[in-house]
Amino acid sequence: MLKLRIKYLINHKLFNRNVIFMKELKVSLSFEKTISDDVSVMVDALRASTTITVALDKYEKVIPVLTKEKAKEIAIQKNGVLAGERTGAKINGFELGNSPTAIQKYKTNLKTLVLTTSNGTRILNDMKSKVLIGAFINSQAVGRACLKLANSHADVVMAGVKGDFAIEDYLVCGDIIHSIEEEFKKNKTKFQSLHISEYGQTAVLGSRNYELVKKAIYNSRSSGRLRDLGYVEDIDFSLQRNISNNVGICENKEIRKLNI
């Protein structure tokens, strides 16, 4: 009976067809490539997402670049600070590595950071939707941003490590999806319901015990590599939850702080 009533209203131009489809937000979890042309969240927990989020405290924009050579070229063109890593280690000749703590300590008057990383910038290059940058340190802020920016579908995307699953990205994605859910419950939004994919639901469940999450990430392959390179401080920093309200949005190949 309700369907017939809605059909009648649509046919007689008394009802906006789009209202029906705006009432539910689909939230999904993906690996490497987004399945949304609406809003996507790139998560490279150790460490590109955290580095970018921190960088937006002092830089007006972060330019993510695929190759070392292109990064050098753009840094000269844009008068920017050059930052990057390969297999976790700082690239020779660059001012900075992919390190949130080094970014915080580095003193400069320049307003552009040019960043190339093994995984995060590679994933960003293929995303065509509105793209946000998500990490543990800004999970709640990203949740709020998803609900404000999305029209129908927010896809949270794990960067992984060179095509392989990374547990740290999975768990941080779960925390971000949980933040979307919690923000939806607390605040009035344009959506009447959420539909979280079962893959996303499992990530949420996996992310709920913070002590177990920290243990899993400390014991991960990525953390082991960073410890070997002397970046323990970066691991500790990246595991802090909701210490930043910065949300980076990538548009026209540049990341700026989202103002909402």
- Collect all residues with Cβ–Cβ distance below 8 Å to 200 and sequence separation of at least 6: 27, 28, 29, 156, 173, 174, 177
In degrees, to the nearest 5, what angle opens at C-alpha 236 toward C-alphas 233 and 238?
A: 105
State yes or no: pLDDT of 8 exceeds 80: no
d(CA 49, CA 173): 12
- Work out the widest C-alpha separation in the chain, in whole angstroms: 69
* 45-89: pLDDT as tens digits: 999 999 999 999 999 999 999 999 999 999 999 999 999 999 999
Task: Tell me: pLDDT of 219 over 50.
Answer: yes
Distant-in-sequence, close-in-space partners of 40: CB < 8 Å, separation ≥ 6: 34, 127, 129, 130, 131, 132, 154, 155, 156, 157
Dist. CA 171–CA 214, nearest whole Å: 10
% of the chain at pLDDT higher than 70: 92
For 98, the token pair is 């992919």
Contacts 24+ apart (CB under 8 A), 228-235: 229/88, 229/89, 231/47, 231/88, 231/99, 233/101, 234/46, 234/47, 234/50, 234/99, 234/100, 234/101, 235/46
Could you tell me the domains of the chain?
22-257 (3.90.1560.10)
Q: What is the CA radius of gyration of the chain?
A: 19
pLDDT in tens, 129-149: 999 999 999 999 999 999 999
Looking at residue 163, what DSSP letter applies? T
Six token digits for residue 160? 């992984």
User: Beta partners for 257?
Assistant: 248
pLDDT at 19 over 70: no
Average pLDDT score over residue span 233-256 = 97
Predicted TM-score of the model (pTM): 0.91
Give residue 2's pLDDT.
45
Q: List the Cα angle 56/62/64 in 5-degree steps.
A: 140
